[in-house]
Amino acid sequence: MDKLINYTQAIQTIKDTILKSRYRADVLANKELLHLYFVIGEYVSLNTRNKNWGKGAIEIISEKLQQELPGLRGFSPVNIKRMRQFYEVWEQFFVNRPLPADELMSSEFRPLPADELRMIKICRGTIVEMTTEQIKQ
């Protein structure tokens, strides 16, 4: 009987671990998709609103994406326009925002070594570190 209780507890522990891992994977996948949509929306917005692209550009881009990546879903002209709209509505909330504590603790935002001066530039979601030598050039 003791073994059955131990197995029940082991099964529950493993099940909980699996479910937590699936949840974290879903959260990360959603975060990555939102980032992708935001970046594509930014790119499309900058090029369409600044008149770099003519009328029908989004339709052509959508069609070419479908040809070059067969089976790709979610990049119809309507969806690409929605990505642009997503960027234009939410851009004001993401530019120059303070970082949440969990992002500050991640390895991507690690403290800089005190022995070397570095300049950090955050440009459109990309962190660029420059050493003292690069700054002088």
The segment with the largest mean pLDDT, out of 10-14, 61-65, 103-107, is 61-65
**Span 121-131, pLDDT tens digits:** 444 444 445 55
Model confidence at 41: pLDDT above 60: yes
Q: What is the pTM of this model?
A: 0.60
**H or E segment and range at residue 16:** helix 2-49
Model confidence at 21: pLDDT above 90: yes
Asked if 83 and 41 touch (Cβ cutoff 8 Å), the reply is yes
